[in-house]
Amino acid sequence: MKSSPLNSPKKAILLILTIVILTTIPLYLHENSSELNFKGGLVPLNPKINQSLPLRFPGGITTKNPTSIPLEPICNIFNGTWVEYPGGAYYTNTSECEIDDRENCMKFGRPDTEFLKWRWKPNECELPIFHAAQFLELVRGKFMAFVGDSVGRNQMQSLMCLLASVARPVDLSRAQNKSFRHWLYVKYNFTLATFWSTHLVRAYDADPNGFSYMSLMNLHLDEVDEAWSTKIENFDYVIVSVGPWFFRPMVFYEKGQVVGCHECHKNNVTELSRGFGYRMAFRTTFRTLLSLPNYKGITFLRTISPPHFENGEWNTGGTCGRTRPFKKEEKKLDGYTMELYLAQVEEFWAAKREGRRRGLKFRLLDTTEAMVLRPDGHPGHYGHGTDEKVTIPDCVHWCLPGPIDAWNEFLLQMLKMEGARSNDGKVPRNVPWKSNRYGTT
């Protein structure tokens, strides 16, 4: 008597093996989905969230289950629009944190507050609110540095204000060294630092009469600024950014020789675009980080922050008096800002490829698309320097609080994904994350 298909031992075993394989392949793919390419703002996030549900944190963490990060669909958090958000800002200008007077818009009489009532909304997901306790747990025992100019300092002070509801740091800075400041969050053993470097490379005034807003600068494009490069090796996270200082006249040097200039008006010197100097400064910066023997940190490029002068440039009567964001169809990145953006991003991708070969991580904190839409977020005439005289409106920096706080919402989300990778989708247990909007415990 012939065996039926079900009675044949060999065929039965083959059938069982087929079922097992077909069952385990999807599970394997799900468990290993963290290997998806992390490009720019492509990070796993929850799909659109019903706001009536309990508060959710990045990656599906809820207040009931803060111990794991399910891997979710990919979403570009940097592609989106600003939406009205009546909840307002995370903090005020009277919060116990350091706000430079030049960005303290409310202190100096800015009459409107509508610019505080908008949040960035990615097109394909929700960007979770900033949660201070969560951020501090992620950076426990770590060192983080902001390297760059005053807009980088602007972001660093935003971060300190966002964290102030949970912890206040001890200032360990030496009063005489204004180019390097650092603070320690004692409970979390977290060190936050800022390195002042206007061009990232060696730069100094060429005008013998000293500094002025339009005085000539000498830039040695192949020589990194040692003010930051000699102290950066032990940092776990390095956020690099520059911008405004490249709008001054510049003479470019390589190997100690003049190779060109931008708006220097010198005879027999090749006129080059500011984008050339900008590109080379980032190239030298990234190559320096790639070559440091003991540097194992994650490098974040925070992309250029667009200015919003209207009816003229900063030195020809330009102002920034708008009180609402642009709609996406009203404003696009263009002109010299686009030139600089493309230059730095191209250098970033080259560094990222080389970093992958050397085991170093480079991440793109791409804030430019969001910020080109926020002409209402600048101090204008409502920020004051130490001399208390405001003759030129500030359409470059950002009010605190203000739309710049979104940069640190982005940063938190990116750190979450780094934590997910290093912990195979798990985060530390017993973390005191609550549903409080400000992250207090």
Q: Which residue type does 338 have?
A: M
pLDDT digits (tens, 9 = 90+) for 143-171: 999 999 999 999 999 999 999 999 999 99
150 labelled catalytic:
yes
Query: 311: which DSSP letter?
Result: S
pLDDT digits (tens, 9 = 90+) for 192-245: 999 999 999 999 998 777 666 778 999 999 999 999 999 999 999 999 999 999
**Among the options 308, 366, 397, 405, which is catalytic?**
397
366 labelled catalytic:
no
**Among the options 95, 149, 150, 376, which is catalytic?**
150
At 424 the three-state DSSP class reads coil
The mean pLDDT of the chain is 82
Output the CA angle 326-328-330, nearest 5 degrees: 60
- Asked if residues 178 and 196 have their Cβ atoms less than 8 Å apart, the reply is yes
pLDDT digits (tens, 9 = 90+) for 302-327: 999 999 999 878 777 899 999 999 99
**Among the options 222, 225, 376, 394, which is catalytic?**
394
How far is 82 from 85, CA to CA, in rounded Å?
A: 9
How far is 439 from 441, CA to CA, in rounded Å?
A: 6
Q: Pairing mode, if any, of strands 237-241 and 217-224?
A: unpaired
- Asked if residues 428 and 133 have their Cβ atoms less than 8 Å apart, the reply is no
424 labelled catalytic:
no
At 11 the three-state DSSP class reads helix
pLDDT at 175: 76
pLDDT digits (tens, 9 = 90+) for 331-379: 999 898 999 999 999 999 999 999 999 999 999 999 999 999 999 999 9
**CA-based radius of gyration for the chain:** 25
Q: Which residue type does 375 have?
A: P
pLDDT at 178: 79
pTM attached to this predicted model: 0.81
**DSSP secondary structure of 222-266:** EEE-HHHHTT-TT-SEEEEE--GGGGS-EEEEETTEEEEEES---
